[in-house]
Structure 1
Amino acid sequence: MRFSSKIKLSGSVIALSVAMVLLPGTALAQATPSITTANDAALPTPQDAPAETLSDGSATDPSKDVIVTGTSIKGVAPIGSNLVSVGRATIEKTAPVNVSELVNTVPAITTSGSVAQGENAYSYYSPQIHSLAGSSSNTTLVIADGLRLPGGGTQFAQTDPNIIPVSAIERVEVLADGASSVYGSDAVAGVVNFITRKTFDGLEANARYGAADHYHNYDINFIWGKKWDTGGVYIAGAYSHQSSLLNRDRDFSSMGDYRSVGGSNTNSYSCNPATLAVTHLSGGGATPSGVFLSPSATSPVANTAANAPCNNSIYATLLPSQYRANVLFKVTNRFSDRFQVTAMINYNNQKTKALNAPGTISAATAFGPGRGFVAGQVNPFFVAPAGAMTADQENVSYRFDRADGAYGKTESEEDSIYATLVGEYEITNSWSVKLSDAFGKNRSALNTIDGFCAPCALLALNGTAQLSGDPTKTDIAGQNVIALNLPLNASNALDVWNTGSANRTSAAVLRSLYGADSQNTNYNIFNQAKLDFQGGLFNLPAGQVKLAFGGEYYWAEETQKINGLSNTGPSVTGSTFRQYDYHRTVKSAYAEIVVPLVSPEMDIPLIHRLDVDISGRYDSYSDVGDTTNPKFAANWEPVEGVKFRANYATAFVAPPLAVIGDPSQGYLYASGSVGPQNGTLFVPIANYPDVVSIPGASCTATTCTIGLTSNPGLRRQLGGGFTHEVPQTGQSYSFGVDLSPRFLPGFVAAVTFFHNKFVGGVSSPSPSAIVNSAGLRNLLTLCPTGCTQSQIDTFANIANGATISGAVPATVYFLLDQSTRNALNLTVEGIDAQFTYRRPIGDLGTFTIGTALTYFTKFTQNFGGGTDFNILNTSGYNTTFPSVQFKNRAQFGWEMGGFSADLFWNHTGGYRNWISSSVAPITVNSIGNPTGGGDHVKADNTFDLHVQYTMKGEGMFNGWQAYVDVKNLFDSDPPFYNGNTAGILGGAWGYNGFVSNPIGRIISVGLRTKF
């Protein structure tokens, strides 16, 4: 079936079903909403939850209607697992802008403590559990009401749970255990399930405005619903806006030279006016070494990172602005005492925008009188530095400033539509059948508008699109295409030697410098159809044995359309277009059985209750083969209020469609490329002895810095098909204890030890991992005398259809291979713990104290099956996820009457910075694996305060809430981190965006109305 036909079919089925549900029903029984837990502040869900009161005021019978995350069987929580639930009370006391901010309050989530704004380059918006990989190794399954969400973004087709309005969320359940036996692919680390409200009666609206230094945000959300005897309908929506935050508005992100705080000098040689490295003198003789910092400089400085003078970070965007609007419509109706249908449709639109910094060129050749490969290449504005007046050829590094400060912008945008249909029929009093269908379509785009045109600048500097100025080299690798701008004259040349009003570049040339537009648009579409049967098999002395089984059919298609520069000039005259098409189908079968072995009524000493759960799933993928994954779990309660649990599971992660690459295009894919390496590499001499022979390498006793203007290189990132990528697998087990002692009412606690092994993780290895790991060392090739053209063409996979983006340096000194591959093997162990104690104290009100924490005890990895090495309590070695050891979020609350106040302490423990730019070198063993070193990063401690007043009475204001929310109460800067963890848009040197928030103190006021 073709792409468009599938859309029409799925859309027609859902539209018809919605119409059916809206018809008047003749049900005899009232629909019962889903369960919320009593333990709302990130605490475990009890297995036998009592009937609860929901946010819409109704009650639920969990033994009849509810399926909780991690199991296919109604009426029980996942046996053997720790389930963390965040519900409406926490939503109200967190006042989140979006659901990502809500989930980031759970310490087990990798990004807890970070800012939920803008796309993350490595996991889109999807939360990740226990830092178990990231990037394309999406080991956390994100679902809504137990069904998959549409993929999105322009990299890995991962999910965006923020498409659901916060007002529609009943609770979020986080299951930090392997769950592929129930859900299939991607659930190696666990599951995050966003559960929407079943029904709602009345109207609730919430408006909030927050402000910080040079920053603000606001959001408005609402929900309106109507219930009737056999069901109900509601519509929920939200609009939010988060302003941009510029680097220059935060000292820690705009210093440029961080040596005074123990960091690196991140300044650049790309300045205005230009810095000049002389490469030829007209009168002969030895050319001066080093760089003249301006045309008026009388002597050069050594070409090292420490001497770079220009702070270009002040122009960048730290956080992009973002707006989002979404709406969700849901209707449920029970047509008889046995048949119920629920339909939901959700629409979402969001956009982010970041202003671009000025464009730069580095080490581009400029010719003076008498020089050039051919006549006409002499730049009429050429100026020799004051300290080398006979210079007639230079390498120029320059920043292209504009008087109006308009350097273009980068935008991401997303449109998605998501719909589900669930029909359930009770065959008997014990057995039921359920048909579920989820359909989604997402369009995600990443666009650059009026961006810097590097080939335009080179054409105006030396008459070619080449850094070297060689007019015989092709500008499009593998094709004989050469763009020339000859002869150079005052009307078409570029002046980089004079600044301000003295600059002689023509207006036409200045306009052409910011004429680069690019577009990367991804279309993701999927359909998931499930048929489930469940019921009781027979009774044992301890209770009924329950069975669930079923099948699933899933298909997904992805199309990527990419427009960009062709390296021959501005977009309007020189652009490229690529299209990648991928598809996948999956057929699955699964079963789960719950066996109660001992019940309280049996009165067996030290076995108050004993339950066993066995589940398994078979998946057949159209592109990566078959897999079978079991799970075994048990609960043992020796006495009432004390429960021990344990489980073991295997899992499977299918490689994402978006990173396989197109074989007809040399295995290029949307977020991959082959082109100049941007930025420097810090190469250990012990691992690469030849690095000291690279011309211009800046070396200490242990490390050399390359990738400078004097020794550029090339980088490739091709898809997994190029590296013969195979599926990823995982194994996990956990055991723990839940405590809810009857002698201490209001106290609930849980402690869980988890172990997770992840094999063959699909990843694009970071430069730091490559140069410091024995298993990846062959991915960096050094060429002390320059790489040959044959080496370059082979490296770029030109013969098989790949192309090089950007200008190839005149001499290439190294080749860095970051192609996606089954590179990563991880073993992670640790402890999740949480407790809460809630107690009224006479006339003083009710007090609550609690905490939730994650503490890793082991975090080892290897590449390609080599020797394990320890990365525990570090960040930066793997650029797509941290491995910080300890996170904690504690709460102290008080409420009396309609008034409540809650203080939260957010703590991330100190760790080591193992990014390749760490000042303290990473130490390695004899085979090149890291053993220690790196910069110490201080602990991060912030406090949040939420004060709320709920009005009570008989009037229209009954139930209204007014609140003040303060995040980062003491306006603490994030701990200094000598590196950059940028996302797709924004990001800056000086803080770790994985675990820290750059905004500072933000004070919000809000009003929540209820009718």
Structure 2
Amino acid sequence: MFEKWSQNRIGASVIAVAVAMLAATNVQAQSADSSALPQTQDSRADAEIVVTGSAIRGVAPVGSNLISVGQATIEKTAPVNVSQLVNTVPSVTTAGSVAQGENAYSYYAPSIHSLAGSSSNTTLVIVDGLRLPGGGTQFNQTDPNIIPVSAIQRVEVLADGASSVYGSDAVAGVINFITRRTFDGFEGNAQVGFADSYKNYSGNFIWGKKWDTGGVYVAGGYTYQSDLANKDRSFSSLGDYRPVGGTNTNSYQCSPATMVVPGVTGVFLTPGSTSAVANTIANSPCNNSIYANLLPSQFRANAMMKVTNDFSDKITVTAMINYNRQETHNDSGPGGLTNATVYGPGSGKGGQINPFFVAPAGAATATQGTVSWLALLPDGKYGEAESQSDSIYATLNAEYRFTDKWTLTFSDAFGWNRSALNNINTFCSACALLALNGTAQLSGSTTTSDIAGQNVIALNLPLTSANALDVWRPFDGNNRSSDAVVRSLYRNNSENTNYNTFNQTKLDLNGSLFDLPAGPFKIAVGAEYLWQEQTQKITGSNNTGPTTTGSNFRVYNYDRNVKSAYAELYIPVVSPEMGIPLVHSLDLSISGRYDKYNDVGDTFNPKFAANWQPVAGVKLRGNYSRAFVAPPPAVIGDPSQGYLYASGSVGVQNGQINVPIANYPEVRNIPGVACGATTCTIGTPTIQGMRRQLGGGLSNMGPQKGRSWSAGIDLSPRFLPGFMAAGTFFHNKFIGGVSSPSPTAIVNSAGLRPLLTICPSSCSQAQIDQFANIANGATISGSVPPQVYFLLDQSTRNALNLTVEGIDGQFSYRTDIGELGNFNIGTGFTYFTKFRQNFGGGTSFSILNTSGYNTVFPSVQFKNRAQLGWSKSGLSLDVFWNHTGGYRNWISTTVDPITVDSVGNPVGGGDKVKSNDTFDLHLQYEFQGDSFMRGWQIYVDAQNVFDKDPPFYNGNTSGILGGAWGFNGFVSNPIGRLVSVGLRIKM
């Protein structure tokens, strides 16, 4: 299980944590805020040592808007995991979505302000200031849900560049999950929730014991969320969405099969059809969406132990260890074939003739054709997709206080994760083809190799009634296929397993250099060493039949180490005691960090910030920072395999490309190319070429850079106790985001045009071999066309540039109205004013208030969450309003076409998606008096009280595991009204 445990440095980290645990546990034991909205840092009265965005102890980040989600929000949101808790913050991209199932692009890691590319995130997710283990089966992203909800004290969201303190990944900001330092007593929470055809239940607990010099606690949680089928929601199972303004998503994969025969235009929809219909999407008859799931079921269990102890007045040691197990299960839908060749009597194909062949009634003399078919079985069992994740995470913090002003802190974080995505007994297309035409090829070719780069041909000849497949009758008792053939249809298995291991070691010196008139001049300096390793093991079909007899296996290995040094200065210039007019206080902060990577070079990132209070209760703040994101090792590629990586390949370009003649004049010289006035079309059956998608190591990919500044105001007037307001204007540039450029972006963007090479006289073998990086270990998938007229380089590189601006705002007001009780009202929102992007330095264009163009993160302009609450004598009622503004759907499947400018950049069009307003309600009673139930709470929580469907979205957010057509899974929740009841006990 632990493939990397043999390394001494891992063992040292684990031993250090274990020793600290044992030492602390052997010590002899000795005898809020009511608003459930995120709060700014200044609204909390407690002065915490742990803060986000600053390396200096006890100093809140200068110039920044720090949002805190605390215990009040945890209680009144009743989250089943910490992702649901974070999704209450509008600046978080996934606010409004459902926290269930793996997001293929960003795993469970939250993202701030949609600032990211497809291959990496720009939001650093940490726990108590330290990194988490990576996870998922693609980009080594973090899953904060490994920490039990019961162990969380609060979550802090810092929407500013913070690489000067934390290093990589903090371009958009930081989300810091701060755990409880100690706990005394026992607290448990259990709840069960129900929606239409959906349910969940969860439980969590924390038990702790304090003593004079410290304490210990154990926290844990268990959650189960059921799957949700497409057929149980009308918006996801229509198939033909034209009546609601969408497209027809039905297919020609039907049971019995549809068929196209030579010499007849169109498709015969059944074997008994006397005439064919036009072969267009509009005529597709079969709705297969009813067999899939909207959401997979998800199970999670985790446990955490934390110990802290003061061994003297100078030494404090804190140790934590955490384990998490997570699974999802997603029933697969039926598989099928599209345009598979089949031969009948009279075709002259000998052993390839299918004995069950049926010509359509309208073409009774046909001797062959192509069929599209859905393999529906009587038992409805089509296998499943299953994901698993196991994580072990441990931290150690040892603090030595030289004096009351100077502290030296050693911190170490170790993490190990195994993430697997398995397909079990799913549709075996090669098995179906072997039983349909005797080969594993759609074309029925008996000479084409089934394994790329090898001369391997699988045959099932001659076809007989014992080994042939009948696609002309349903499996309802009349089908003529043998039991053995039917059993072979669902015998495909695949596995993608990732192992991630990391260790982060830090040494910080913190203290005051000298006193200024306004207070102590503070400094923090430190050094850090980080290493990580990732191994991907991928097993799947080799296209010769069931995976039990024919599989391929590949291993990718990546490693990285980083050496860092950093410093931060806090300079109080004016204090309230100095009595300077219009300068109640003025604070400055300067920080910087140097990081040296063994694989992508080095980088230095500073930050400058200031707070100015002209009068008490009014604070103006601002900052400027540079930040960066190191590309994930998995998209740099494996050097030993020519920089191949898991989702990359080298092979034939599939799909047409419209090439602007003005950008590539030589394209007109390709023999037989079809050209219009401004473009020529390549990638056709007669104009073929090669494409490669290798890792960024081939393109010398470097860190992704960020440049940001923000300015804001905080108001907490003395004459209005209980009122707080904050507004922040942010400007953020993301430069050189890692991306695999699309063909459209390549041919239309000036900075990417060299990535397409035209060979009017066909590329030479030497060109092809160099392009495929054969000499360095890469391989070509599939066969090379006899004539290669172009080479398309879609290797990952620093290609994406974003400029994002907007406003984050919050306000809240709490008041006591005597006998009427306590009231609170507030809101938090994010409003984008600019969202522009370009590729490779080409022409910039706006994607503001759209979703789908860059396939990953939406840029919806406005999100808001508001609260109205009341409480009295232990009874409380809170109502929340969640609003997502209307936007444009810019995915490629829009009904209203996207309009483009002269260089191919989008400028308008796309489908309108309506705004979305939902309301949540939380009713809670806390027992009063002196009974043993004092402090216990019972509650009812209702999400989406009015059971409103999400706005119609004509597309499929395929990055979401279990995502479906008809709604945008990045910003919408398909569950509907979810009512939960719960009990929280405190002892």
By the TM > 0.5 criterion, same fold?
yes
Instruction: Report the CA distance shift for 1:124/1:608 in structure 2 as closer, same or farther (over 3 A).
Output: same
Instruction: Report the CA distance shift for 1:682/1:549 in structure 2 as closer, same or farther (over 3 A).
Output: same
Instruction: Give the aligned partner of residue 14 of structure 1.
Output: 17
What is the aligned counterpart of 1:130 among 96, 105, 113?
A: 113
Query: 2: CA distance between counterparts of 1:473 and 1:507?
Result: 29
Give the partner amino acid of 1:149: L
Q: Calculate the TM-score normalised by the size of structure 1.
A: 0.91
The CA deviation string for residues 416-442 of structure 1, in whole angstroms up to 9 with x for no partner, is 000000011110111010000000100
> Which segment drifts farther, 680-689 or 866-875?
680-689
What is the aligned counterpart of 2:339 among 337, 342, 363?
A: 363
Give the partner amino acid of 1:46: D
Instruction: Give the aligned partner of residue 171 of structure 2.
Output: 188
2:459 partner SS: coil
Q: Does the 8 Å CA contact 1:225/1:232 hold for their aligned counterparts?
A: yes
Instruction: Report the CA distance shift for 1:122/1:578 in structure 2 as closer, same or farther (over 3 A).
Output: same
1:44 aligns with 2:40: yes
Give the partner amino acid of 1:508: A
1:246 aligns with 2:229: yes
Q: What is the CA-CA distance between 1:821 and the residue it aligns to?
A: 2.5
Consecutive unaligned residues of structure 1, counting only runs of 5 or more, are: 31-35, 53-61, 280-286, 695-699
Q: What is the CA-CA distance between 1:814 and the residue it aligns to?
A: 11
Q: Does the 8 Å CA contact 2:29/2:210 hold for their aligned counterparts?
A: no
Give the partner amino acid of 2:411: S
Instruction: Report the CA distance shift for 1:805/1:97 in structure 2 as closer, same or farther (over 3 A).
Output: farther
1:232 aligns with 2:228: no
1:892 aligns with 2:875: no
1:147 aligns with 2:130: yes
Instruction: Give the aligned partner of residue 460 of structure 2.
Output: 485
> Which segment drifts farther, 295-304 or 84-93?
295-304
Give the partner amino acid of 1:960: W
Instruction: Report the CA distance shift for 1:662/1:507 in structure 2 as closer, same or farther (over 3 A).
Output: same
The CA deviation string for residues 109-156 of structure 1, in whole angstroms up to 9 with x for no partner, is 000000000111111000000000143221000000000000001000
Q: What is the CA-CA distance between 1:685 and the residue it aligns to?
A: 10
Query: 1: CA distance between counterparts of 2:891 and 2:685?
Result: 22
Matches within 5 A, 1:941-956: 941-956=917-932
Q: What is the CA-CA distance between 1:663 and the residue it aligns to?
A: 3.7
Query: 2: CA distance between counterparts of 1:303 and 1:79?
Result: 63
2:487 partner SS: helix
Q: Does the 8 Å CA contact 1:478/1:798 hold for their aligned counterparts?
A: no
Q: What is the CA-CA distance between 1:769 and the residue it aligns to?
A: 6.0
The CA deviation string for residues 73-115 of structure 1, in whole angstroms up to 9 with x for no partner, is 1111100000000000000000001000000000000000000
Instruction: Give the aligned partner of residue 352 of structure 2.
Output: 377
Q: What is the CA-CA distance between 1:708 and the residue it aligns to?
A: 12
Give the partner amino acid of 2:142: T
Query: 1: CA distance between counterparts of 2:896 and 2:764?
Result: 35
Instruction: Give the aligned partner of residue 293 of structure 1.
Output: 269
Q: Does the 8 Å CA contact 1:766/1:877 hold for their aligned counterparts?
A: no
Q: Does the 8 Å CA contact 1:221/1:238 hold for their aligned counterparts?
A: yes
1:408 aligns with 2:383: yes
1:248 partner SS: helix
Query: 2: CA distance between counterparts of 1:136 and 1:38?
Result: 40
The CA deviation string for residues 886-909 of structure 1, in whole angstroms up to 9 with x for no partner, is 000000001111000000000000
Q: What is the CA-CA distance between 1:309 and the residue it aligns to?
A: 1.1
CA RMSD of aligned residues (A): 3.4
> Which segment drifts farther, 404-413 or 5-14?
5-14
Instruction: Report the CA distance shift for 1:781/1:920 in structure 2 as closer, same or farther (over 3 A).
Output: farther
2:42 partner SS: coil
Q: Does the 8 Å CA contact 1:853/1:886 hold for their aligned counterparts?
A: yes
What is the aligned counterpart of 1:77 among 49, 60, 63?
A: 60
2:329 partner SS: strand
1:448 aligns with 2:423: yes
Instruction: Give the aligned partner of residue 874 of structure 1.
Output: 850
> Which segment drifts farther, 862-871 or 486-495?
486-495
Percent of aligned pairs sharing the same letter: 68
1:192 partner SS: strand
What is the aligned counterpart of 2:330 among 348, 354, 360?
A: 354
Query: 2: CA distance between counterparts of 1:452 and 1:177?
Result: 47
Consecutive unaligned residues of structure 2, counting only runs of 5 or more, are: 671-675
Q: Does the 8 Å CA contact 1:459/1:484 hold for their aligned counterparts?
A: yes
Query: 1: CA distance between counterparts of 2:339 and 2:686?
Result: 7
Instruction: Give the aligned partner of residue 577 of structure 1.
Output: 553
Query: 2: CA distance between counterparts of 1:879 and 1:380?
Result: 45
Q: What is the CA-CA distance between 1:773 and the residue it aligns to?
A: 6.4
Q: What is the CA-CA distance between 1:390 and the residue it aligns to?
A: 2.2
Instruction: Give the aligned partner of residue 248 of structure 2.
Output: 265
Q: Does the 8 Å CA contact 1:767/1:916 hold for their aligned counterparts?
A: no
Give the partner amino acid of 2:580: I
1:947 partner SS: strand
Matches within 5 A, 1:563-574: 563-574=539-550
> Which segment drifts farther, 989-998 or 682-691?
682-691
Give the partner amino acid of 1:363: N
Instruction: Report the CA distance shift for 1:123/1:807 in structure 2 as closer, same or farther (over 3 A).
Output: farther
Q: What is the CA-CA distance between 1:842 and the residue it aligns to?
A: 2.1
Instruction: Report the CA distance shift for 1:712/1:107 in structure 2 as closer, same or farther (over 3 A).
Output: farther
Instruction: Report the CA distance shift for 1:612/1:759 in structure 2 as closer, same or farther (over 3 A).
Output: same
Instruction: Report the CA distance shift for 1:734/1:355 in structure 2 as closer, same or farther (over 3 A).
Output: same
What is the aligned counterpart of 1:516 among 473, 492, 498?
A: 492
1:102 partner SS: helix
1:23 aligns with 2:26: yes
Equivalent pairs, count? 978
1:223 aligns with 2:219: no
Q: What is the CA-CA distance between 1:598 and the residue it aligns to?
A: 0.3
Instruction: Give the aligned partner of residue 673 of structure 2.
Output: none
Give the partner amino acid of 2:211: W
Query: 2: CA distance between counterparts of 1:811 and 1:413?
Result: 44
Instruction: Give the aligned partner of residue 995 of structure 1.
Output: 971
Q: What is the CA-CA distance between 1:67 and the residue it aligns to?
A: 2.7
Q: What is the CA-CA distance between 1:857 and the residue it aligns to?
A: 0.4
Query: 2: CA distance between counterparts of 1:539 and 1:984?
Result: 54
Give the partner amino acid of 2:481: T
Matches within 5 A, 1:540-559: 540-559=516-535
Instruction: Give the aligned partner of residue 469 of structure 2.
Output: 494
Q: Does the 8 Å CA contact 2:132/2:393 hold for their aligned counterparts?
A: yes
> Which segment drifts farther, 705-714 or 758-767?
705-714
Q: What is the CA-CA distance between 1:843 and the residue it aligns to?
A: 1.1
Instruction: Report the CA distance shift for 1:997/1:803 in structure 2 as closer, same or farther (over 3 A).
Output: farther
1:317 aligns with 2:313: no
> Which segment drifts farther, 682-691 or 358-367?
682-691
Matches within 5 A, 1:352-751: 352-371=328-347, 375-500=350-475, 501-673=477-649, 717-751=693-727
Q: Calculate the TM-score normalised by the size of structure 2.
A: 0.93
Give the partner amino acid of 2:342: A
Matches within 5 A, 1:305-344: 305-344=281-320
Instruction: Report the CA distance shift for 1:359/1:203 in structure 2 as closer, same or farther (over 3 A).
Output: same
Instruction: Give the aligned partner of residue 58 of structure 1.
Output: none
Q: What is the CA-CA distance between 1:556 and the residue it aligns to?
A: 0.3
Q: What is the CA-CA distance between 1:472 and the residue it aligns to?
A: 1.1
Instruction: Report the CA distance shift for 1:1000/1:796 in structure 2 as closer, same or farther (over 3 A).
Output: farther
Query: 1: CA distance between counterparts of 2:677 and 2:926?
Result: 65
Instruction: Report the CA distance shift for 1:768/1:300 in structure 2 as closer, same or farther (over 3 A).
Output: farther
Give the partner amino acid of 1:409: E
Query: 1: CA distance between counterparts of 2:364 and 2:761?
Result: 29
Instruction: Report the CA distance shift for 1:490/1:716 in structure 2 as closer, same or farther (over 3 A).
Output: farther
Query: 2: CA distance between counterparts of 1:42 and 1:846?
Result: 18
> Which segment drifts farther, 473-482 or 856-865?
473-482
Q: Does the 8 Å CA contact 2:825/2:869 hold for their aligned counterparts?
A: yes
2:73 partner SS: helix
The CA deviation string for residues 527-575 of structure 1, in whole angstroms up to 9 with x for no partner, is 0010000111111111110000010011101111111111111111110
Query: 2: CA distance between counterparts of 1:544 and 1:623?
Result: 40
